[in-house]
Chains A and B, each alone.
Chain A
Amino acid sequence: MTFPGTRLPLRYPRVFLPLAAAAWLALYQSLAPISEHAMSLLPVDRTSRLGGALQFFLYDTPKVLLLLAGIVFVMGMVNSYFTPERTRALLAGRHEGVGNVLAATLGIVTPFCSCSAVPLFIGFVQAGVPLGVTFSFLISAPMVNEVALTLLFALFGWKIAALYLGLGLTVAIVAGYIIGRLKMEAHLEDWVRNMPHIQAGGVNNELGLPERIQAGFASVREIVGKVWPYILAGIAIGAGIHGYVPQDYLASFMGRDAWWSVPLAVLIGVPMYTNAAGIIPIVEALLSKGAALGTVLAFMMSVIALSLPEMIILRKVLKLRLIVTFVGVVATGILVVGYVFNLVL
């Protein structure tokens, strides 16, 4: 470990954790006064456009980053209990239905990187995890992740975060179930089907608390280190929209009365690829200018869950028909979510 002062967490983990939690909380509580103070030092009128944009930027950036670091740390520790190997062992031999629910849920807590999507996919199928169950995992893992949920919570509150969690899981469960029902095993590439079946064994990696804390630090370094430029860029764009785009400007074409806005949002979102970190601050700004929540959520889900680069990688293991089905089923699910949101809220 290269962190300074890592002796304490590793030697006295039970002392370190509550101390760290208290320090984190104190810092989080003092963000609002600190950003107020920083604002008052700047020679900008805060009712001006630039002032509004700056205030948004100065308050949101530290808040989002701090919240993210905290949650990624905790998730890093949680992730160390759910290795891909253990998840696979939990899913192998499950029936559809229960299996889909379990797979989507495990997708939240199993560490996942889109560059590992294919090895993971093959590993699951090889161990006898049903195709539909594998897809439930593959849909939920990138879409319902701690970064997306943290940002939603930080910028919109827990209700929206919970709704996103619930709907994301539902899309993953239902879409995986449908793909499973379609019996498309024949549309796996031949070399994947011909791979020898392997036994999903339990992997022995019982870690102690110090190692889990280390895993937490490692994931903060890795994830926060990777996404912070996206967050800064996202918040900067969001701040610009906040300050300069007129109120309700977007209502006419992203509002809930425009029925075509949801499919359009999904259509635009699919080829786009960025992670949750970059997209959510922009989403917040769009919302505040009159875009409808369902439309915006549909846009966000399709950007995160379906992406062109991922399809190209998946093409190595899936035949075209299965990829098209996968995109079609997931996009339809997201579409329904968008409409339901716009109707209900």
Chain B
Amino acid sequence: MKNIKVLGTGCANCKTTLKLIEDAAKTNGMAIALEKVEDLQQIMSYGVMSTPGVVIDGKVVHAGGVPDRSKIEGWLASPD
């Protein structure tokens, strides 16, 4: 199971990103552990400078702006 974290201090884009990932996982029938990280120190420990950031299994795959649907599908489809 993939562990996906969305980094963001609670702006609208972060919420959208979270929802997009949730929806994509649901349509694909995938079980994921989705987590929202709002604590600044924690966000900064991943070294991202623009939010929302997306971390999959400890690796930053995206930073800044809402990711494309196709990009999200790609993350979900990639092997563990």
Contacts and interface: CB of A to CB of B under 8 A. Distances in A.
Interface of A: 1-2, 83-85, 88, 111, 113, 115-116, 118-120, 122-124, 126, 191, 195, 198, 218, 222, 313, 316-317
B58 interface: no
A316 B8 contact: no
B64 A222 contact: no
A341 B12 CA distance: 37
B11 A84 contact: no
Contacts of A2: 69
Given A84-B64, A120-B49, A123-B49, A113 B41 contact: no
Given A1-B68, A218-B65, A313-B9, A116 B50 contact: yes
Nearest to B50: A116
B40 interface: yes
B50 A84 contact: yes
Q: Is the interface of A mostly helix, strand, loop or mixed?
A: helix
Contact of B64 (A111, A122, A313): A111
Given A113-B11, A191-B41, A317-B40, A119 B68 contact: no
B50 A120 contact: yes
A120 B47 CA distance: 10
Interface of B: 8-14, 40-41, 43-44, 47-51, 64-66, 68-70
A116 B40 contact: no
Given A88-B49, A316-B40, A116 B64 contact: yes
A11 B51 CA distance: 30
Nearest to A110: B50
Given A113-B50, A119-B48, A120-B49, 10 more contacts: A2-B69, A115-B8, A115-B9, A115-B14, A116-B49, A116-B50, A116-B64, A119-B43, A119-B49, A123-B49
Contacts of A218: 65, 68
Q: Is the interface of B mostly helix, strand, loop or mixed?
A: loop
B66 A84 contact: no
A119 B51 contact: yes
Contacts of B10: 115
A188 to B, nearest CB: 13
B78 to A, nearest CB: 19
A195 B42 CA distance: 11
Contacts of A115: 8-14, 51
Given A88-B49, A116-B49, A116-B51, A122 B9 contact: no
Contacts of A317: 40
Nearest to A196: B45
Contacts of A111: 50, 64-65
A301 B26 CA distance: 45
